[in-house]
Chain A
Amino acid sequence: GAVVSQHPSRVICKSGTSVKIECRSLDFQATTMFWYRQFPKQSLMLMATSNEGSKATYEQGVEKDKFLINHASLTLSTLTVTSAHPEDSSFYICSARSGQIDSPLHFGNGTRLTVT
């Protein structure tokens, strides 16, 4: 089955530093990847749609300069949280489809970010 690998699984960083999260589709090509954020005991909030070779599309209220997304290849998308603050602490999950737009999403294992 389609596998999405996300790294790192956990990261603790100091306030003001930047953190890069990688998302790879291991056995399929993903022209589009999705980045979600999940707060404790809450649902998945779509942050942005990452498109290979073009700029990401951000959801309303998500700062594009703070959450930098790069989709350099058909198998890799990265999310960089710049100048992280404690309120950025959250669970970030990437996902991708291996088929058409109505096919299921395959999720990475997620990254637990803690900003101290």
Chain B
Amino acid sequence: GQQVMQIPQYQHVQEGEDFTTYCNSSTTLSNIQWYKQRPGGHPVFLIQLVKSGEVKKQKRLTFQFGEAKKNSSLHITATQTTDVGTYFCAALQGGSEKLVFGKGTKLTVNP
């Protein structure tokens, strides 16, 4: 089945530094979703990208969808301790309603 590859698996930054996580697929995606899971919590939807080359911003978070709709990235500018958690990308498995998640990137921020 369709797989979404996500890197890096872990990222440790100093507060104020930037952070980026990347997702790649071997197939064209209809859309891609991003979720954040705080330690001990459940995944919470952040955003969905649908259009080729789409860029969306949420405050310090910038989400991009590649031109070929096979890759996506989440960039956080000037990280804060509240940004800690695991960020997952997710995409629909081709032709189905099932959402397949990347392995996630666990972000830790050193104050």
Contact = CB atoms under 8 A, between A and B. Distances in A.
A23 to B, nearest CB: 12
Contact of A104 (B45, B100, B101, B103): B45
In this complex, the interface size class of chain B, counting residues with CB under 8 Å from chain A, is 20 to 34
Interface in A17-70: 32, 34, 41-44, 46, 49
Main secondary structure of the interface of B (DSSP, over half): strand
A107 B43 CA distance: 6
A93 B43 contact: yes
A43 B103 contact: yes
A104 B48 contact: yes
Contacts, number: 48
Interface string A78-89: 000000000000
B106 interface: yes
Contacts of B59: none
A61 to B, nearest CB: 12
A interface SS class: loop
Interface size of A as a range: 20 to 34
A102 B48 CA distance: 9
B98 A34 contact: yes
B99 interface: yes
Contacts of B31: 102
Interface of B: 30-31, 33, 35, 41-45, 48, 50, 88, 90, 92, 97-104, 106
